[in-house]
Amino acid sequence: MGRANLVAARAGLDPVPARPHDPAAGLGDRRAGAGAGLGRADAVACDWAQGAEWTLFLLFLVWAADTGAFIAGKALGRHKLAPRVSPGKTWEGAAGGLVLGGLFAWLAAGWFVQPVVSFVAVSLVVVIFSIIGDLTESMLKRYAGLKDSGQLIPGHGGIMDRMDSITAAAPVLMLGLGLLR
């Protein structure tokens, strides 16, 4: 039993199934090394031939969370998340982002042959960090006295407003996939 399966079993989660197309399947703890393999590309719970699919998953996960946050925030938003940093963001919007992001991750778990509960949990942490990335970029803009970070994408606050969530979420997804291994 690999280290991730031991951790999953202790946490009451589904074990990570070995996939026959994974060239490193069966190497178990030898791949993990120090730090449970964090930071090691060969210890990540995905087939790197699916790199484009993982990238699209990250983009669609963040976009689903942004969409859920926008819809829930507009419809239900009453409690400000960080009023001095980003006055339009609400706790209700953040919850909506988590719901839609979790739903998307639940649907994607089958595509990537991942244990559903663990995969959705990792994806929800990724969504939380995408929200933190968005707030961080907003904080930096406020500190610099800017409304938009550029004019490349009119009406969207600049290219950084499109990338802030993704930039924060990408490394968290990689680490999370490493923990799923």
pLDDT digits (tens, 9 = 90+) for 103-139: 999 999 999 889 999 999 999 999 999 999 999 988 8
**What local confidence, expressed as pLDDT, does residue 176 receive?**
94
In a domain, 140, yes or no: yes
Q: What is the domain range of residue 132?
A: 49-180
Q: What are the percentages of helix, strand and coil residues in the chain, rounded to 5? A: 65, 5, 30
In a domain, 128, yes or no: yes
Instruction: Report how far apart the first and last C-alpha atoms of the chain are (Å, whole number).
Output: 11
More confident residue, 24 or 76: 76
Domain count, the chain: 1
In a domain, 117, yes or no: yes
| DSSP bridge pairs for 90 | 80
In a domain, 165, yes or no: yes
Q: Do 158 and 149 form a contact (C-beta atoms < 8 A)?
A: yes
**What local confidence, expressed as pLDDT, does residue 171 receive?**
95
Q: Do 32 and 76 form a contact (C-beta atoms < 8 A)?
A: no
**What local confidence, expressed as pLDDT, does residue 29 receive?**
41
In a domain, 29, yes or no: no
Virtual torsion, Cα 174, 178, 180, 181, nearest 10 deg? 140
Q: Do 98 and 65 form a contact (C-beta atoms < 8 A)?
A: yes
Of 4-8, 78-82, 87-91, which range is least confident? 4-8
In a domain, 76, yes or no: yes
Q: Do 3 and 32 form a contact (C-beta atoms < 8 A)?
A: yes
pLDDT tens sequence across 2-40: 555 544 555 555 555 555 444 444 444 433 333 444 444
- 3-class secondary structure, 91: helix
Looking at every residue in the chain, the average pLDDT score rounds to 78
**What local confidence, expressed as pLDDT, does residue 90 receive?**
96
**What local confidence, expressed as pLDDT, does residue 31 receive?**
39
**What local confidence, expressed as pLDDT, does residue 142 receive?**
81
**What local confidence, expressed as pLDDT, does residue 33 receive?**
37
